[in-house]
Amino acid sequence: MMRDDRYFEKLGEEIIKTFYDEAEKLAEKIGLILERETKDVLKQNDKIATADLYKSIREKTRKMLWGYMITVFSNVNYAQYVYDGTKPHFPPINKIAKWVRIKKLSGNYSIKSHGRLGKKQDQYDQDRALAWLIARKIAKKGTKGIKFFDLALKQGLPMIEQKVANFKG
């Protein structure tokens, strides 16, 4: 009789371990869905210039006493400003000019090669001129945020619900 008790005890432990292992895999899958959806929201809303924010999006799944905590985050210093927007302020012209250049918002471009036309100094001057106009507008109105984490959760929720519904831990 003692032998049977030990067998069932061990079987119970294995079942519990399997359940928790599967629950952890599910939590990690959900984290990856949210990471992917966050990047998709940034892409869909044209929030990729240098791609620093896009590349910084990560998920982290941590085991807690009561379950798992899934966190999706960015470690770039301006992520919060993209998310919340900003109050009126005068931004750094060099950063705005770099953004203008990357987004190809000023100057003339070749139809065939898509390369920028003109002398480097002229290109620089064009980028800075537009950057000043943009900076003045930001100084008057601030910037509008995009709640990319919230939108990603909303966008990914159907997939997450399906994964949870199919969970066979």
* pTM, full prediction: 0.81
* Contact (CB, 8 A) for 78 and 104: no
Cα–Cα distance between 76 and 73 in angstroms, integer? Answer: 9
Query: In the numeric block, which tokens belong to residue 6?
Result: 């030990």
DSSP label of 117: P
**Burial letters for 55-86: b for 16+ Cβ neighbours within 10 Å, e otherwise?**
eebebebeeeeeebebebebeeeebeebbeeb
Give the mean model confidence (pLDDT) for residues 111-131. Answer: 95
Q: What is the band of 3 on the pLDDT scale with cuts at 50, 70, 90? A: low
Cα–Cα distance between 49 and 34 in angstroms, integer? Answer: 21
What percentage of the chain exceeds 70 in pLDDT?
98
75-84: per-residue pLDDT in tens?
Answer: 999 999 999 9
Give the mean model confidence (pLDDT) for residues 48-76. Answer: 94
Polymer length in residues for the chain: 169
Q: Residue 43 belongs to what H/E stretch?
A: helix 2-44
